[in-house]
């Protein structure tokens, strides 16, 4: 399947709003799948490729925030743009804290909505690239030998070569050799990059030496 054209899902129970939004978004070159009920969206949608959701906050079958929670439980990871005719500030704050990209009030300005969609898709792209980077890093960490893993754990905990050598009962020059091999195998150029990727992948400084 070709995912070069992003898919924009719309959920709104007002037929006229649903139709106008679908027309507006499709004229920008996006594929559009409209739903009048949140349940239909949840049951029929399988997120693949670049996509985002334009979601009405106040739906008859369930509220937008409830839909957001259900998406999280189902691991439906796509950015959400909330739209509403009478949303409250607490609701908007809650939606944004839960990861919504934007919170727009009706009547919608076309340019504002399209810009929000562009930002949502860029955010999704960035997250996917980061996920790929982290996943690849984890695989490389798991490929380390037992001794290399011990060196890696020492490095991310901020220990000097002599401290690692003392802890492992080996010579400092041996640590230097293994450290170089670890950096090469993990495909990182310096300590800062190693720490950045280790933190993103969940190898914290405090827990580094305890991971199996």
For the stretch 8-49, pLDDT in tens is 999 999 999 999 999 999 999 999 999 999 999 999 998 888
**Six token digits for residue 8:** 């924009």
Percent of the chain having pLDDT more than 90? 59
User: Residue 48 phi/psi, 5° resolution?
Assistant: -145, 135
Q: Which one has a higher pLDDT value, 46 or 205?
A: 46
Residues 60-118: tens digit of each pLDDT = 878 888 999 999 899 888 999 999 887 666 777 777 777 788 989 888 999 999 999 99
Statement: the pTM of the whole predicted model exceeds 0.85: no
Domains of the chain are: 7-132 (3.40.50.2300), 143-210 (1.10.10.10)
C-alpha 187 chain-centroid distance = 23
If you search the block for the tokens 């690849």, which residue do you land on?
A: 136
pLDDT tier at 205 (50, 70, 90 boundaries)?
low
Hey, how many other C-beta atoms are within 10 angstroms of the C-beta on 130?
11
Residues 105-153: tens digit of each pLDDT = 888 999 999 999 999 999 888 888 888 888 899 999 999 999 999 999 9
Nearby residues of 30 by Cβ (< 8 Å), 6 or more positions away: 5, 6, 7, 8, 117
Measured distance CA(211)–CA(72) in Å, rounded: 28
């Amino acid at each position: 399947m070709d995912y070069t054209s992003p898919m924009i899902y719309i959920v709104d129970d007002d037929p006229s709003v649903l139709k106008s939004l679908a027309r507006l978004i499709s004229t920008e070159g996006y594929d559009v799948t409209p739903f009048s009920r949140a349940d239909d969206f949840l049951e029929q949608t399988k997120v693949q490729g670049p996509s985002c959701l334009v979601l009405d906050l106040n739906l008859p079958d369930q509220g937008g925030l409830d839909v957001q929670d259900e998406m999280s439980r189902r691991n439906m990871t796509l950015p959400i743009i909330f739209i509403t005719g009478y949303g409250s500030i607490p609701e908007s704050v809650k939606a944004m804290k839960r990861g919504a990209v934007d919170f727009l009030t009706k009547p919608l300005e076309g340019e504002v909505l399209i810009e929000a969609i562009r930002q949502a898709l860029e955010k999704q792209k960035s997250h996917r690239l980061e996920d790929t980077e982290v996943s690849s890093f984890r695989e490389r960490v798991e490929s380390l030998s037992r001794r290399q893993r011990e060196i890696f754990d020492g490095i991310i905990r901020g220990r000097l070569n002599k401290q690692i050598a003392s802890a492992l009962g080996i010579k400092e020059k041996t640590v230097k050799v293994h450290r170089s091999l670890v950096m090469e195998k993990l495909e990182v150029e310096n300590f800062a990059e190693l720490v950045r990727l280790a933190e993103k992948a969940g190898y914290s400084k405090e827990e580094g030496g305890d991971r199996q």
